[in-house]
Amino acid sequence: MFDTLPSVLLTLFLAACVLWLIWQAFRRLFSPRKRRVVEPSLADEPGNSRIEPAVSRTDAAVSTIPDAADVLALKAAIDNLARQVSALEQRLAAGQPSLPRQPTPRDRSVDHSPVIPPISPDHRI
């Protein structure tokens, strides 16, 4: 009785695999086609006779090179932020006239003499 046990177990396993494959085939045949995601192939497009390797969606979604629309959107955001800062500066300047005027960098005198710290024999770096 135990001499045929391995062959019986192998036969049962193969039969279960075949039944599972048949079940999966029936499920695919009778399932609604809306659930399937079908990507258009490159061969369907006119002018593409050569089949190129498929690019994964994560590679296509992440682009390190900004296009013109990204650059223009960034420029518009920077311009908008600059306008907001300018308006805020004007509001603050109008609200506090008693404060002394801050010198601009053009008004400051530049001292070209270098500052040399005193060096003593005990001073070590």
Mean pLDDT across the stretch 34-59?
58
What local confidence, expressed as pLDDT, does residue 25 receive?
A: 93
What local confidence, expressed as pLDDT, does residue 85 receive?
A: 95
C-alpha pair distances (Å), 36 with each of 39, 79, 125: 10, 46, 72
What local confidence, expressed as pLDDT, does residue 45 receive?
A: 61
C-alpha pair distances (Å), 69 with each of 59, 72, 73, 77: 20, 5, 6, 12
Give the SS3 label for residue 33. helix
Asked whether the predicted pLDDT for residue 29 surpasses 80, the reply is: yes
Tens of pLDDT, residue by residue over 67-113, are 888 899 999 999 999 999 999 999 998 887 555 566 565 655 555 66
pTM of the shown model: 0.29
Mean pLDDT estimate for the chain: 76
Tokens of 35: 């659930």
What local confidence, expressed as pLDDT, does residue 32 receive?
A: 79
